[in-house]
Amino acid sequence: MGTVVSIAKETDVSVLGALRSPKRLRIEVLAGLVVALALIPEAISFSIIAGVDPRVGLFASFTMAVTISIVGGRPAMISAATGAVALVIAPVVERYGLDYLIATVLLAGVIQIVLSVIGVARLMRFIPRSVMVGFVNALAILIFTAQFPHLIGVPWLVYPMVALGIVIMVFLPKLTTVVPAPLVAIVLLTAATLVFSLNVPDVGDEGELPSSLPSWLIPDVPYDLATLRIIAPYALAMALVGLLESLMTAKLVDDITDTHSDKTREGWGQGVANVVTGFFGGMGGCAMIGQTMINVKVSGARTRISTFLAGVFLLILVVGLGDVVALIPMAALVAVMVMVSVGTVDWHSVAPKTLRRMPIAETTVMGVTVVVTVISHNLAYGVIAGVLTAMVAFAHRVAHFTEVVKIGDADIDHDGDIDTRVYKVRGELFFASSNDLIYQFDYVDDPSNVVIDMTDAHIWDASTVATLDAITTKYESKGKTVEIVGLNEASEQRHDRLSGHLSSGH
């Protein structure tokens, strides 16, 4: 029985298994075709954002997809030219021209490789679930709002065509899943447009499609420090945005497919893909979340075959069949992306029942991630804002778990007066929780000897050591002695190393 399960799993997720399974191979091939069709208008739009010829974005999508299908760590994930990268590199094109853009893409790829090799992918474990949920919901909103330009100020026929495309994708899977519903919707709407000579916007209206293959390109820039000073800030920003978006998407695909992927390999694979893309004159890119959802969630792809074929089909479509592709109505692709956005939302996370049960801090983190992402149109900004909010919320919660209590008096002197006061400190002590610690002691009325029992506490940073030093100093200024006892080994080492070497201002 175990053998049967392992074989079934291998057939679903491996290239070799897919090649042996006609059903799985069909799914991968058709998924790649659907993604390629959806990539064309997106790549053209992102080229316009970046201020370059549409060919630069289309060739980037081809080289990114093909390269990452070989070197990437997350099977079935789609990488191509993206809006996030386009926004980062647009100023380079505007101020310095295409050659400096290519140099920026090459340097960004190298930076991604270096960052991945030194372990930046491991930082993903510090991203909370609430940020991930916010990331997914923000993504769905961005995909949906990105369709507005294709729905505003257009002929009225566009609206029933979009509605028909949505109806096809909703109901066709209930009848058959032999052919992906998005592909059927695209073919039928294109056929209807041609047969009835409908005057609606099509892919050809988005920009001129290339008529030749991409060629090897070395950027014509001075190879000196002056050039490095120009491109380095943009390359670093592109590398970080690309890595963050790619690793977050990889984690999302992990969750959808219930499989694990090599994030470090995915990171340096993105770098390699950008280097290859740069040498072929592309604008670079990263994981494309909307197209990945089409590939994985809508079409059911699970292997590198779909990613590879998405790139190959894209090149064939725009170079060899450009005249045909140009006739595809934008309404068909808008319908596909609307369904992708609806399917991407984590509806459980925004259900009233869930929101009532969820702690306010968790909901706030998700909300901040969504709002910042939607306002900035940059998923990286939203994730960073969400993580920072989660850190503040966590520090606030943990800070309130700290308490100082008097557990009794000890050592009564020969006159019957209390000679020693014992305080017990409980909780995790760091900058947020230890700042108020100094106000928890009675410096005036306490006896001459004070014992601070730290058995149930842990010292995490220098701020806490400085606070304990300040408490000791305040008692000593009143002629009283303080003894700190019960430190665990790690806390004692930190206290012994730093105590007396930190000024009260630190």
Tens digits of per-residue pLDDT, 105-114?
999 999 999 9
**Does residue 504 have a pLDDT over 80?**
no
> pLDDT value at position 410?
57
Name the band, by pLDDT with cuts 50, 70 and 90, for residue 418: low
Of the ranges 287-301, 391-405, 490-504, which is most confident?
287-301
> pLDDT value at position 433?
82
**Does residue 268 have a pLDDT over 80?**
yes
Name the band, by pLDDT with cuts 50, 70 and 90, for residue 267: very high
Residue range 74-86, pLDDT digits in tens: 999 999 998 878 8
Name the band, by pLDDT with cuts 50, 70 and 90, for residue 194: very high
Per the model's pLDDT, the better-predicted residue between 116 and 11 turns out to be 116
Residue range 285-329, pLDDT digits in tens: 999 988 999 999 889 999 999 999 999 999 999 999 888 888 999
**Under a CB-based contact definition with an 8 Å cutoff, are residues 104 and 341 in contact?**
no
**Does residue 486 have a pLDDT over 80?**
yes
HEC assignment per residue over 377-406: CCHHHHHHHHHHHHHHHHHHHHHCCCEEEE
**Does residue 180 have a pLDDT over 80?**
yes
Residue range 334-392, pLDDT digits in tens: 998 898 888 888 899 999 999 999 899 999 999 999 999 899 887 778 888 999 999 88
> pLDDT value at position 420?
86
> Rounded to whole angstroms, what are the CA distances from 274 to 47, 257, 379, 415?
16, 26, 19, 81
Name the band, by pLDDT with cuts 50, 70 and 90, for residue 415: low
> pLDDT value at position 51?
82
Amino acid at 371: V
Name the band, by pLDDT with cuts 50, 70 and 90, for residue 417: low
> pLDDT value at position 287?
94
> pLDDT value at position 501?
77
pTM, two decimal places: 0.76
> pLDDT value at position 10?
41
Name the band, by pLDDT with cuts 50, 70 and 90, for residue 42: confident
> Rounded to whole angstroms, what are the CA distances from 29 to 9, 25, 320, 436?
19, 6, 18, 62
Q: What is the mean pLDDT of the chain?
A: 88
Amino acid at 52: V
> pLDDT value at position 132?
87
Kindly state the DSSP code that residue 413 receives in the 8-state scheme: -
**Does residue 461 have a pLDDT over 70?**
yes
What percent of the chain stands above pLDDT 90?
58
Residue range 347-363, pLDDT digits in tens: 999 999 999 998 999 99
> pLDDT value at position 67?
97
Sign of CA dihedral 368, 372, 377, 382: negative
Name the band, by pLDDT with cuts 50, 70 and 90, for residue 169: very high
Find the mean pLDDT for residues 393-404.
Answer: 80
Question: Which residue in 334, 250, 299, 262 sits closest to 27, CA to CA?
Answer: 299
**Under a CB-based contact definition with an 8 Å cutoff, are residues 330 and 203 in contact?**
yes
**Under a CB-based contact definition with an 8 Å cutoff, are residues 126 and 387 in contact?**
yes
HEC assignment per residue over 17-64: HHHHCHHHHHHHHHHHHHHHHHHHHHHHHHHHHHCCCHHHHHHHHHHH
> pLDDT value at position 411?
55
Phi, psi of 453 (to 5 degrees): -90, 115
> pLDDT value at position 385?
93
**Burial per residue of 304-315, b for 16 or more beta-carbon CB atoms within 10 angstroms, e otherwise:** bbbbbbbbbbbb
